[in-house]
């Protein structure tokens, strides 16, 4: 499971001209799910996202986590994070989980983050054509792969 985490001042996702989810301060997270992901990946990555200390403290140092600053999460499924570009110019997505595997994992991640954060995360819609807008704060962008823990 791969997450691209962007610290944002605001972010939103629009589907068919209607805002599906939006946040102010917090994380806009693109989540790529592979067919090898498990509950252990959900919990490990979810705790990393919630505990990531990249918000500025009173001394302007990145030292505070999402809960401390009262931030929110906008979670967007993104199968293209598992693109392989080794051969040719057309990416291969064979490592990305098919919807029958990915949707339940995505839903479990939403539930895990809801519980850890203590309030609902905002989401896109799995498989939809989404328009994502954000104001990256910093900019701060972190990539975490649950398969690269050491």
Q: Which residues are catalytic?
A: 80
Contact, 100 vs 84, CB < 8 A? no
φ and ψ at residue 78, rounded to 5 degrees? -150, 85
Give CA 122 to chain center in angstroms.
Answer: 11
User: % helix / strand / coil in the chain, to the nearest 5?
Assistant: 25, 40, 35
Grouping H, G, I as helix, E, B as strand and the rest as coil, residue 133 is strand
Contact, 121 vs 112, CB < 8 A? no
Contact, 4 vs 30, CB < 8 A? yes
């Amino acid at each position: 499971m791969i997450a691209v985490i962007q610290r944002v001042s605001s972010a939103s996702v629009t589907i068919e001209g209607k805002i599906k989810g939006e946040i102010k301060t917090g994380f806009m997270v693109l989540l790529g799910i592979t067919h090898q992901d498990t509950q252990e990946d959900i919990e490990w990555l979810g705790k990393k996202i919630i505990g990531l200390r990249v918000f500025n403290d009173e001394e302007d140092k990145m030292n505070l986590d999402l809960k401390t600053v009262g931030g929110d999460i906008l979670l967007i499924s993104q199968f293209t994070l598992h693109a392989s570009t080794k051969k040719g110019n057309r990416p291969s997505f064979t490592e990305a989980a098919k919807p029958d595997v990915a949707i339940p994992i995505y839903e479990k991640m939403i539930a895990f983050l809801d519980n850890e954060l203590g309030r609902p995360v905002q989401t896109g819609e799995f498989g939809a054509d989404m328009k994502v807008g954000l104001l990256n704060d910093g900019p701060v962008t972190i990539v975490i792969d649950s398969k690269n823990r050491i």
